């Protein structure tokens, strides 16, 4: 099963993606986690992307597309989180999955208002101290989401693939809504 999860920063996308992956024994492919691991390792990739992550900007499309192609080539099933974030990334993803005969089964969208998102991100900043959770950087990440990632949402909506879910409930409520949305399109719970 191949599931893509979309949603703004602070929508709980990472948390829900991890839950879906654990419940269904799928690998959780999270580009943000991969990039932060590269930074922590001090690899060449990490050194290149560190300043980009700190500003809350986006890593260049060609670099992201190469990284994700390598990974998805090796996986038959996955929960994809953090990619695609731009239309060129979405086009590349659809093309590469078509080429290897592994189309997406479902595209989830976690919907939350900006105010809710900002509140959650500020709370997380206090708890985890992520360097990209300062108010200015949060604003930049949300701005880029609206400008560059919402067209990706519209692309999957136009294809009839989008499953919107209200992301403003508790973690358990949102997980339940996701399970219902997936069942409705015939993606069984296990
Ligand atoms: P969030 O969704 O909260 O911004 P992520 O953990 O998904 O957090 O991503 C953290 C950072 O990693 C992003 O702000 C961006 O700099 C970089 N990044 C992750 N995925 C991509 C992508 N697909 N394209 C470009 N940059 C990305």
User: What pLDDT shows up at residue 58?
Assistant: 98
User: What pLDDT shows up at residue 128?
Assistant: 83
Give me ligand 1 centre to Cα 59, in Å: 8
For 85-102, write each residue's pLDDT tens digit: 999 999 999 999 999 999
77-106 core/surface letters (b: 16 or more CB in 10 A; e: else): ebbbbbbbbbeebbebbbeebeeeebebeb
Mutate to test the pocket of ligand 1, among 9, 31, 33 (most ligand atoms within 8 A of CB): 31
Check whether 77 has a pLDDT greater than 90.
yes
User: What pLDDT shows up at residue 169?
Assistant: 94
Does ligand 1 have an atom closer than 6 angstroms to the CB of 182? no
CA–CA distance, 55 with 23 (Å, rounded to integer) = 34
CA–CA distance, 56 with 65 (Å, rounded to integer) = 18
User: What pLDDT shows up at residue 189?
Assistant: 62
pTM, to two decimals: 0.94
Top-confidence residue, 190 or 60 = 60
Task: Name 108's Cβ contacts closer than 8 Å, sequence gap at least 6.
Answer: 3, 4, 5, 6, 7, 16, 163, 165, 178, 181, 182
Domain boundaries defined on the chain: 2-184
Q: 2-184 maps to which CATH number?
A: 3.40.50.300
Under the banding of pLDDT at 50, 70 and 90, the label for residue 190 is: low
Number of the ligand 1 atom closest to the C-alpha atom of 55: 16
% of the chain residues with pLDDT over 90: 89
User: What pLDDT shows up at residue 8?
Assistant: 96
Check whether 162 has a pLDDT greater than 60.
yes
For 25-39, write each residue's pLDDT tens digit: 999 999 999 999 999
Q: List, by residue number, the catalytic residues.
A: 13, 85, 124, 130, 141
User: What pLDDT shows up at residue 175?
Assistant: 97
Give me ligand 1 centre to Cα 160, in Å: 25
User: What pLDDT shows up at residue 188?
Assistant: 67
């Amino acid at each position: 099963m191949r599931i893509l999860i979309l949603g703004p920063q602070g929508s709980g996308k990472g948390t829900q993606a991890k839950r879906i992956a654990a419940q269904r024994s799928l690998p959780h492919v999270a580009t943000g986690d991969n990039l932060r691991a590269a930074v922590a390792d001090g690899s060449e990739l990490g050194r290149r992307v560190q300043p980009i992550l700190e500003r809350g900007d986006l890593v260049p499309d060609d670099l992201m597309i190469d990284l994700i192609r390598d990974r998805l080539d090796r996986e038959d099933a996955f929960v994809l989180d953090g990619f695609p974030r731009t239309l060129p990334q979405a086009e590349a993803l659809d093309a590469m999955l078509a080429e290897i005969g592994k189309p997406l089964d479902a595209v989830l969208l976690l919907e939350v208002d900006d105010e809710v998102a900002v509140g959650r991100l500020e709370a997380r900043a206090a708890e985890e101290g992520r360097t990209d959770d300062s108010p200015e950087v949060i604003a930049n990440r949300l701005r880029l989401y609206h400008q560059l990632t919402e067209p990706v949402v519209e692309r999957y909506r136009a294809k009839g693939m989008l499953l919107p879910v209200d992301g403003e409930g508790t973690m358990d409520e949102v997980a339940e809504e996701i399970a219902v949305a997936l069942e409705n399109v015939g993606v069984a719970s296990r």
